[in-house]
Amino acid sequence: MSNPVVSGSGVSGSIQMSLLAFDKIVSIGVDGQLYLDTYDPSFNQWDAVAKCDVSLNTIRDMFIFHSDHIDVNDQIPEDIRFYVDASYIPQSLNLHTSIVDNGAVLDMAYGSLLSNSERVLAKDYIRHLSQILFNTPFGVDLFINEEDLVNSVNAALNDTWETSCRVDLECVSTQGTHANLQGNPNGKSKYLLADNEADDVTYASKYNICRELFRMLVSKVPSRFVPLSNPVGATQKQNMLQYEMDANDINLYYLPLEVGDQILMKVTIKPDPTQSSFTGVSANDATIRADERAYIIALNLV
């Protein structure tokens, strides 16, 4: 076998010589790491937990990361870019279909005997309202506008996504306006980079939603990143590439979310600001209006 083709010294008449005795194997002393500590933020307090089924693709198609595969320098923040594709942010997640899974108002009385249609979040909250007003969840029939109350809770739930969560996503999206977005300020393929360690410690970086999910995935299930085999679909990728993206921005991958994963959000519901305690005492009215019931809603990927 001939010697490998290696750039020569450029000196006329020079030769290459292989020393077979110098055929050695070494191991490096540092292992490649994807994370330092498991990243597992959590909500502090809640009263009940509900579950809402959402299509995997609906969530996954929003969140994209870019790895350059070129730069071998962990001090360069541009190594990984985090995108929220504005064109794939869903208008609604139908949060009104959420089923209370744990902590339902009537669990003490009926437990699992309640049908799912009776365990929807809106009905659970109306029972809670009955509890704080009448000291029993069985007072719901005293309301002459029971159906309107349920519809109002459903509207508030859907509004949580449509006018709040969705706005948060749009702000840091490829067409967003967040001050930390990178890329062409007038373009439609903006992205975020990693935040500094101090902001990570204080959760000031929680606005970087794609990176938040990335950090949890890579620290909890690093095997999903081996190999990087979940590239962005051709059509979506082409739509992104047409908007002033860097020439190297071709290594685009979906976050490796899977069926069965759950993304948790928290919604706290309060009574209508004009809710009466029906006692004629203003202090009692104020107490009722200040009451809060917090729900963790698990977006269950199906």
On the question of pLDDT at 199 being above 50, the answer is yes
DSSP 164: I
**DSSP 3-state of 4:** coil
| Listed residue (241, 231, 234) closest to 187, CA to CA | 241
- From 123-137, 182-196, 237-251, the region with the lowest mean pLDDT: 237-251
Beta-strand pair 63-67/252-254: antiparallel
pLDDT at 30: 56
Task: Give the pLDDT confidence of 88-105 residue by residue, as tens digits.
Answer: 999 999 999 999 989 999
Nearest 5°: the CA angle 219, 192, 65 is: 50
Beta-strand pair 262-269/48-54: unpaired
Write the CB contacts of 292 (distance below 8 Å, at least 6 apart in sequence).
268, 269, 270
Maximum average pLDDT range among 36-45, 123-132, 195-204: 123-132
One-letter amino acid at 79 equals D
Task: Give the pLDDT confidence of 35-47 residue by residue, as tens digits.
Answer: 556 787 888 899 9
| Listed residue (143, 113, 106) closest to 128, CA to CA | 106
* Average pLDDT over every residue of 145-156: 93
On the question of pLDDT at 72 being above 50, the answer is no
On the question of pLDDT at 192 being above 90, the answer is yes
Task: Give the pLDDT confidence of 1-25 residue by residue, as tens digits.
Answer: 565 655 666 677 776 666 566 555 6
The domain spans of the chain are 62-95+171-257
Q: In terms of pLDDT, which residue wins out, 123 or 184? A: 123
Q: What is the mean pLDDT of the chain?
A: 82
* Average pLDDT over every residue of 254-261: 92
Task: Give the pLDDT confidence of 105-117 residue by residue, as tens digits.
Answer: 987 666 556 788 8
| Listed residue (222, 221, 242, 189) closest to 81, CA to CA | 189
pLDDT at 171: 96
Which pLDDT band, with edges at 50, 70 and 90, does 196 fall under?
confident
